[in-house]
Amino acid sequence: MKFQEIKFTDNNAKRLYKDYINRVKSMVKGLNKENQQECLLEINSHIYEAFTIVEGNEVERLLDVFEKLGAPEFFLRELVAEKKLEEATRSFNPVKIIKALLFNFSNGVSYIIFFLLYLSLFSFVFLIFAKIFDPQKVGFFYKKDHFFVLGRYSSDTVNYQSYEQLGNWFIPTMMLAAIILYVFITLLLKGKKYLKNKK
């Protein structure tokens, strides 16, 4: 179903309505076309239904409806944030997910935690590049009851090279760990969204 503007006879009512709808469009423009249409249709439907109940001239009725709905910049913020996150997790695109999580910061601590988990993924990417540029000092170094280093050791006096556990498998292991963690966190985020919708 395609969005269609409500028709008004009063020019002032037309202007008020268009201004309000433009504010709604501005709020939802970051979403995909389908979600933009869905939001516009839902709000338009609310305006139309509420408008038919209220009495008075068109301008008064419309102002009354807008007062009850509230400013789109406020009541649409959480809905847009949720839809952005839904789009991002569906695509598995890390950039979109990070942007959506940043957009959701005001919606709860759990989104901040998810954001930090996604950021931790970049530590794996950093380790891969660090291993390429400094293969002697970057790796997984382990000696029972003495030390455990995943990353780069900074000591110039001690050589941990003989305790490297992964050797040439370090880069593929970090890549695999990053992919597994990424998929796991994204599925966890999808699960959170699903559970929230079930309530």
Domain finish residue from 75, 110, 135: 75
The reported pTM is 0.56
Round to whole Å and give the CA distance between 1 and 126: 47
- Residues sharing a CB contact under 8 Å with residue 111, sequence separation 6 or more, in sequence order: 101, 104, 105
Range of the domain at 190: 93-199
Q: Following CA atoms 58, 61, 64, 70 in sequence, which dihedral angle do they give, to the nearest 10 degrees? A: -60
Pairing type for strands 147-152 and 138-143 reads: antiparallel
Which residue type occupies 104?
Answer: N
Beta bridge partners of 116: none
Average pLDDT per block of 10 residues along the chain, 199 residues long: 83 91 89 87 89 82 89 82 74 70 63 76 84 84 81 73 83 89 80 62
- Let me know whether 193 and 99 are in one domain: yes
Residue 83 lies in a domain: no
What was the pLDDT predicted at 20?
A: 92
Residue 86 lies in a domain: no
